[in-house]
Amino acid sequence: MTTTHGDITEIDYGAMIRSLNQAHYAGETSFYDTAPLRTCEEALYHGLGTRARILDVGCGAGRVTRAITALGGNVVGVDINEAALTAARVACPHGTFVRGSMSALPLPTASFDQVWCLRFSFNALATEAERLEALHELWRVCAPGGRVLVETFNWHYAGRFGLVRIANILDMAARAVRWQGQRRAGSKPLPARDIIYLANKASGAAPGYAHLTTVTELYLLASACDIRQHANVTSEVGVMSTPSPPIRGRHRRYSMWLVLRKPPEQP
């Protein structure tokens, strides 16, 4: 379930993870091009005005874009995985899909009222530099008065009987021992909160990668992008509320949501 990092640079590591995730998400298209919206996603959509412009970042095989298009919504899906986009266009021939990286979105500034990065696409970014670039881009394409929603895996999620948390702690301890030798050899330790997980959406799909975030990390990323004053980390329930109640410290739920609200006057 966990990665083993050898003596490689952060750039090499990022390239390796991108290649791994390309295979992973391409292998799960048969699930995502037919799966419906979740209850929380339906509520998010129906809470918007009919003219809201929505960007589905990390759309994959088009699960969200397809469903919102069918509901008559104004939505664009963007993803870097060509195999997933091919499946999305077949499943939703009237949808709008664009190929591009979330760290360099090929879309105009301030062009969407709602910018959604759902179902842990953000966790597929392997390095802090990529996560910062992506957050900058999500904010850039958001229109004044709009909102960015980033749903992420939670490092402190315990799982059933605490088994997920125990596994994470044991893995972190094992890496600490392994990294002592790497430090002596002069190599740089890579993040402890990176995991490899087995695909469970489609038979035969390759394993996937995720960087597990914390509440503190999400606030720090917002600060590094100079948008901390517009940021709030909340729960799935909280994201439906206005204002969204913030969460701090060691949030225990499976997921958490970074909410960024752009002031009406800000470009």
Domain boundaries, the chain: 10-154+214-261
As a whole number of angstroms, the distance between CA 135 and CA 122 comes to 9
Report whether CATH 3.40.640.10 matches the domain 10-154+214-261.
no
Per residue in 203-218, pLDDT (tens digit) is: 888 888 889 999 999 9
Say whether pTM exceeds 0.85. yes
Give yes or no for residue 261 having a pLDDT over 70: yes
Greater model confidence, 232 or 177: 232
Name residue 164's amino acid: V
Task: In whole angstroms, give the CA distance from residue 129 to residue 265.
Answer: 28
On average, the pLDDT of the chain sits at 87
Highest mean pLDDT among 188-192, 246-250, 255-259: 255-259
- E strands, the chain, are 53-57, 74-79, 96-99, 112-117, 142-153, 194-197, 208-211, 231-234, 255-261
> What stretches of 28-162 show up as alpha helix (H) in DSSP?
29-32, 39-46, 63-70, 82-91, 128-141
More confident residue, 169 or 42: 42
pLDDT band, residue 172 (cuts 50/70/90): low
Give yes or no for residue 184 having a pLDDT over 60: no
